[in-house]
Amino acid sequence: MLRQLRCLMVPLAMLGMLAAGSLFAEPVTIKYILWDANQLPAYQKVADNFMAKNPDIKVTIDQAGWNDYWTSLQTSMVGGTAPDVFTDHLAKVTDFASKGQLVDLAPYVKRDKIDTSIYLPGLADLWTKDGKRYGLPKDWDTIAVVVNKDIQKEAGVTDAELANLTWNPKDGGTFQKVLAQLTLDKNGNNGLSPNFDPKNVVRYGMEIQHSDDRGQSQFSCLALSTGWSYTDGTFKSNYHFDDPRFIQTISWMLNMTQKGFICPYEVTALSNSTLFPAKKAGSTLDGSWMIGYYANSVDFPVAFVQTPIGPVGRKSMTNGLADSIWVGSKHKEEAWKWVKYLASAEAETTVGTFGVVFPAVKAGVDNALAAYKAKNMNVTAFTDLATGKNTTFVYPVLDNGVKVSEIMVQAFDTIFLGKGEVAATLKAANAKVNALFK
Amino acid sequence: MTNARRASKLPFIIVTVALLFVTLFPIYWVLRMSFTLNKQIYSGAATLLPVQPTMSNYMRVLGLIDSVTAVKLGGSGQKINFFRFLFNSVLVSTIVTFAQVLFSAAGAYAFARLRFPGRNKLFGLYISALMVPSIVMMIPNFILMKDLGWLNTYMGIMAPALLMTPYAVFFLRQFFLGINRELEEAAYIDGAGKLKIFLKIIVPISSSSLATLAVITFIGQWNDYMWPLIVGKDEKVRLLTVALGVFRSQTPQGNPDWGGLMAGTTLAIIPTLILFIIFGKKIVNSINFSGFR
């Protein structure tokens, strides 16, 4: 009997080795999603580099457009099929965290001694709450004025004028003058001429989309430059939409639409700009994530100009992205390895070379600038705002994001469609918003 | 035809031409935009023909261009496995159409001809289900699919529509009520059971209305977006309509990839167009037929 058992030992041992071998050879697959299709080639390269360094981990990248991204992410979390790692946004992170869907990265960061000083100042702290950390910053964006160079030349606006735009809510400063100059009516009069006909405008000075509570590409640069701020601090929740400075800013914007220098509210109901690419508006406000769009999908050269200098200086809202790990991931250790690599200087500088976003590590910004320069785009307007003194402002990181947005969108609809008075509407909306946080 | 007759036809002709224009011009516009570069979607919109015709949109939709070039053309860098998604759509639509028509016909026959206690009350319940908007059913169905483990599978996508819809049962019951009873009685005397009567007599007689229902079901299932979006996320089972979502705006306040979207839509219309061309006459005839009873 022993002899028979001994005969079995070798094949059994081989089976055992095969089993163990296959256990070790089985690569762990990490699912990663992002929304910006322009960044897909960059992150694919980062994933390839990561997989070369970690042959037992496979990273698959999937992309879903912004409109579907959050709803499909939430349904997949409910359905138990969410990706292991996903690109997170400051406006949404508290929502996910409060629902317990994110892995706390603080213990991992401590264990692996991650150095958070390689990032631009202030970015890393935004992703922490109550001592827990939900992401490591990977890129940032700012807002600038985008100008159609052909229209600028035709209207006779000089580069020097654009570089030194001033603004105040009372008379609009040189910003209003430039907008008027870029506006054209049916008879060829621009906005500065006494014969200008605001009822027959063929080209507007600026196209501005509908604002929500953030107003990132809408009112933010103007309102912030008056010294106003959304709340008393990044994590404080007492909103100030009833502040006189904010009311004055919105009133100025409404006045501009009535004068015909900014396009009417009804024309911009779509969430993307249509007048500017159609050459029916001379300028617009947009974020650095749209640089690729202006490089590839418009028919004319564009210039990026810093936001106007307001009563307290230039301001731009800045936002940052980070990668978060889903709490239901079955491979948290491997997911952490991927997140750690994504947040490393090496990965972020690689992303920088593709010239699509500005990486959060200081070293990556220069790479990005060089990459953009190679594509013939001068994007210093965005980076100067980011590295300037006191020029950037982060929207408060709070709960109830969706409800606040709903209330403010309704308020702006009322104001800009002429259905309600500016001060009264904003005061009422602000009261509703603050009531959410009681 | 006398001149007076011709003149009296003129207003009808004008109205018909106007309606044709209103209906067909948007389709022509989709076709025209699909051959336009993204750069010129807005600036080149004033002419009837594309300013710089290009095949690059179609190549992007069919996945024949690499990501970096696609991004330069204004599109998404996402790889599009067009034929896989086309296959998924065809598979799901065909199976659902076949199953739904068969089972709805059986159900409609039961309501029309068979007698059983509570028949009319049950039918009333079916009709009241018509009034429930399908979007209300999505959350309960999603939870059910999740519990059954059918998320991201073909079964999950097909399940809600596989057996019947109240509309199909109602439509066919109306038709079956109008079939001559004598035919069935003659078959019954000859010894046929209920199933044989159904399969051998009723179905062949109602072939045109079954064909109509089949085409309506196929088109409805082909165009369905919301449910496959929620349930069929995985690339293996993604349908064409959901896959075309990749052309919508990718970034906040970003522009959709118009050229790619138009090209993708054109390609997605083709199967339903072919179906209509083949079965078109039959549908028109059947509408005539069941129009008066």
Domain ranges of chain A: 143-318+377-436
SS3 per residue for chain B: CCHHHHHHHHHHHHHHHHHHHHHHHHHHHHHHHHCCCCCHHHHCCCCCCCCCCCCHHHHHHCCCCCHHHHHHCCCCCCCCCHHHHHHHHHHHHHHHHHHHHHHHHHHHHHHHHCCCCCHHHHHHHHHHHCCCCHHHHHHHHHHHHHHHCCCCCHHHHHHHHHCCCHHHHHHHHHHHHCCCHHHHHHHHHCCCCHHHHHHHHHHHHCHHHHHHHHHHHHHHHHHCCHHHHHHCCCCCCCCHHHHHHHHCCCCCCCCCCHHHHHHHHHHHHHHHHHHHHHHHHHHHHHHHHCCCC
A376 touches chain B (CB under 8 A): no
For residue B205, how many C-alpha atoms fall within 13 Å in the half-sphere facing its CB? 18
Q: List chain B domain ranges.
A: 83-244+280-289
Lowest mean pLDDT among B34-48, B89-103, B121-135, B207-221: B34-48
Mean pLDDT in residue range B9-34:
92
Q: How far is B95 from chain A (nearest CA, A)?
A: 25
Task: Inspect the interface and report whether the beta carbons of A79 and B151 lie closer than 8 Å.
Answer: yes
**Scanning every residue of chain A, which has its alpha carbon at the shortest distance from the alpha carbon of B150?**
A79
pLDDT of residue A435: 93
Task: Inspect the interface and report whether the beta carbons of A72 and B38 lie closer than 8 Å.
Answer: no
Fold of the B83-244+280-289 domain? MetI-like fold (1.10.3720)
- Kindly tell me the sign of the dihedral angle through the C-alpha atoms of A49, A50, A54, A55: negative
Residue type, B275: L
Task: Inspect the interface and report whether the beta carbons of B248 and A299 lie closer than 8 Å.
Answer: no
pLDDT at B292 over 50: no
Rounded CA separation A169/B67 (Å) = 45
Mean pLDDT in residue range B54-79:
78
Nearest CA among A435, A412, A398, A66 for reference residue A247: A412
- Chain B residues with CB-CB distance to A under 8 A? 38-45, 67-68, 71-78, 142, 146, 151-152, 229-230, 233-235, 245-246, 248-256
Mean pLDDT in residue range B216-229:
90
For chain B, how big is the Rg over CA atoms in Å?
A: 24
Question: With contacts defined as CB-CB under 8 Å, which chain B residues touch A66?
Answer: 249-252, 254
- Tens-digit pLDDT profile for residues B138-179: 989 999 999 999 998 999 999 998 988 888 898 899 888 888
Name residues of chain A where pLDDT drops below 70. Answer: 1-25
- Tens-digit pLDDT profile for residues A134-149: 999 988 889 999 999 9
Task: Inspect the interface and report whether the beta carbons of A297 and B78 lie closer than 8 Å.
Answer: no
The phi-psi region of residue A376 (left if phi > 0; otherwise alpha if psi is between -120 and 50; otherwise beta) is: left
Tokens of B65: 């261009």
Question: With contacts defined as CB-CB under 8 Å, which chain A residues touch B253?
Answer: 209, 217, 271-273, 286-287, 290
Question: With contacts defined as CB-CB under 8 Å, which chain A residues touch B77?
Answer: 37-41, 63
Nearest CA among A264, A262, A260, A252 for reference residue A172: A252
- Kindly tell me the sign of the dihedral angle through the C-alpha atoms of A164, A167, A173, A178: positive
Domain boundaries A143-318+377-436, corresponding CATH code: 3.40.190.10
Q: How far is A321 from chain B (nearest CA, A)?
A: 13
Task: Inspect the interface and report whether the beta carbons of B142 and A36 lie closer than 8 Å.
Answer: no
A/B interface, count of CB pairs below 8 Å: 124
pTM above 0.95, yes or no: no
Mean pLDDT in residue range B81-108:
92
> To probe the interface with A, which of B250, B255, B257, B258 has the most A CB atoms within 10 Å?
B250
